[in-house]
Amino acid sequence: MNSTISKSRRGLVRRLGVGIAAVAASMAVFAGPTTAAPAAPAQPTVDWNQAAQQLRAAAAGNPTAEAAMDRLLTAPKQELRQDVALPAQVFQIPAYSQEGRMDGVSGQVYGSGIALGIGGFRLGVFGGPGVFAPSQAGARMEVLWVNLSTGKSGTAVLSEHTDSIFDTTLRSADLSGQIGKGTVVAGVYGSAWHRWPVPVDDAHKDGFAYHKAELWFPSLGAVINN
């Protein structure tokens, strides 16, 4: 798994950068005037093994989160030791899906978690086959987080999405008041519906095909909320 993650991250980060920029541009239309963000603090380092253990402890009592964090804990430990994210706020460890890129092949990179400072502090996920479908009924993508600076922890459902080809993320509501300031480690896990255009026929009356992606390996990251 180490070599797969290492080889895939360069292309993934390039795609993430384009996607995040597009989301920022599309959401800015609705956000109104903004102020300049303060300078980012010096980036700390994180012991990923300890971070994964803290997330596992925070997942206690939530079977779905517990299972996702258990998969993080059994991952090769050297892969879970990287520098904390640069201001792009992309999670360092990407997610893998059961069925990737609409072709039914398992074990492919799905995307990564992200943090967005748009309309507050939001955690989300970028990636997967096709565009996120407008309806996520029957699927549930979540994020589990721990603020290393305060010890606070919690979960949030990633359900906010604009039905536009420019919006390539599923996002939480504004978590600023819950998470607080500091270094935050988080894991994204669960499932999401995607869709892509196909010719209209009896099986695709709306002109779209749909695919439900299940993450078998969650995305893990550390981000800064200033």
68 or 22: which carries more pLDDT confidence?
68
Task: Output helix, strand, coil percentages for the chain, rounded to the nearest 5.
Answer: 25, 35, 40
Average pLDDT (77-103) is: 72
> Which pLDDT score is estimated for 47?
85
Q: Per residue in 3-41, pLDDT tens?
A: 444 444 444 444 444 444 444 433 333 333 334 444 545
pTM of structure: 0.78
Question: Given a cut of 80, is residue 1 above it in pLDDT?
Answer: no
Q: Per residue in 171-216, pLDDT tens?
A: 999 999 999 999 999 999 999 998 889 999 999 999 998 988 889 8
Name which of 178, 188, 66, 61 is nearest 115 in CA terms. 188
> Which pLDDT score is estimated for 84?
74
Mean pLDDT in the chain? Answer: 79
> Which pLDDT score is estimated for 61?
95
| Coil vs helix vs strand at 104 | coil
> Which pLDDT score is estimated for 60?
95
Q: Per residue in 97-122, pLDDT tens?
A: 876 555 545 557 888 999 998 889 99
Instruction: Let me know how long the chain is.
Output: 226
Percent of the chain topping pLDDT 90: 47
On whether the CB atoms of residues 155 and 141 are closer than 8 A, the answer is no
> Which pLDDT score is estimated for 8?
47
Element (H, E) at 9: helix 2-31
Element (H, E) at 29: helix 2-31
Question: Per-residue DSSP letters for 138-191?
Answer: T--EEEEEEETTT--EEEEE--B--SSTT--EEEPPP-HHHH-SEEEEEEEEEE
CA separation, residue 217 to residues 46, 112, 179 (Å): 20, 11, 24
> Which pLDDT score is estimated for 76?
73
Average pLDDT (77-93) is: 73
Dist. CA 42–CA 224, nearest whole Å: 10
Residues in a beta bridge with 192:
213
